[in-house]
Every structure is written in C-alpha cells, then in structure tokens.
Amino acid sequence: MPEPMQKNIPSNAQKSAPQPAESQSGGETVTPEEQQNYEKLVLASLKVLYSEQTHQGIVKMLQSGDPAESIANVVTTIILQLDKKSGGKIPEEIILPAAAELVDEVAQLAGKIGIQVDERVTGQAMQRMVMGLAEEYGVTPEEVQEIMQAIPKEEVQKMVQQQSGFSQQTQPQAAAPAAQPAAPMGA
C-alpha cells in the first residue's frame, strides 16, 4: 500500500492546489506526474464535496450517526465514485494521500455544520477510511494491520502533531469558540 504524502495546503483548498512535497517515508520526492494526479484527484473530490448536486446529500450523510464513521463514509464514497468514473485509472499511489486530504476537508465541513470534530474524531475517521478503501480494493484487514504496525510509534505521533499543527494554523476560528465560553465566565 502506498505511503501517505505530506501536504502543505492552505485552508482554502479550492483556490490553491494541494502540494505534497515528499512522501512520509523520508526523502522520496514526488514526481511531477504524481503531483499532478494527486492535485487532480483532490480537486475533483472537492468539486464533488461542494457541488450543488451533491453537497446537501453529503451534509445529510455527515449528520447521520457517528461523526468519525460519517466522515470516513463520505470520503470513501467520493473516492470510489471518482475511481469508478475514471474507469479505475486513478494511480494507486495517490489514492490514500488524496483521501487523507479529503478527510481533513470533510472534517472541516462537519465542524462548520455544527458537528463536534476534534483530533480524536479525525484520527478515527482516517483509520476507518483507510480500512474502508482497503476493503474495497481487496486489501485484507490483516494486511492493513501489518502496514499500520510497521509504522513506528514516533512517526505516528509526529504525523498527529503535524496534523494538529496544520489544523490549528488553518482553522483558528474552529478552536477559538470552544475555548471562549469559559473566558467570559471567569472574567
């Protein structure tokens, strides 16, 4: 299974294309073709997410049940539909990185519509999305577990820290309301 790519994405991903600089495995540089395919998949996913034809259905999916499961289901559905529409031509190595980017975007959307989303929910959504896509593409749960266990704990913690730092940089308004109610009471 491909390694997720790092990304430096502004909060308004619709205006700027995603730009993963390197893969998570270290100094492996992303080829221009991989970058272009990644950008195309992320932008196509965002079009589906915010399209007038699909947006309300996606909002309803997000509002139905467990937030992590709903986010994972939305992402998995969008990626699978785009892959089907392409005739299965989406390069395998960009599916997970693009889907991971979409998890962040869908989590932000969920937060905007009033669903409580924190790092734990986003992490669970990411795990469920990986498992869902793995199942759809014929990877066994055991193989996914082996891949996940092969990633050093320090690397996982580093990814979580990077992700939370990225979320705080791009979503200060999401973090501020949760902290503000306590401040006026103590004043």
Residue given tokens 């992700």 in the structure block: 163
> Residue 93's closest CA among 20, 43, 163, 164?
20
| Average confidence score pLDDT of the chain | 75
> Residue 104's closest CA among 52, 56, 49?
49
- Domain ranges in the chain? 32-167
Measured at the CA of 127, the angle between CA 47 and CA 77, to 5 degrees, comes to: 35
> With b meaning 16 or more CB within 10 Å and e meaning fewer, what string describes 14-39?
eeeebebeebbeeeeebeeebbebbb
pLDDT tens per residue across span 10-39: 333 433 444 454 444 444 677 899 899 999
pLDDT tens per residue across span 128-172: 999 899 888 888 878 777 766 766 666 656 555 544 444 444 443
pTM, to two decimals: 0.67
Q: Quick one: tokens of 63?
A: 């509002």
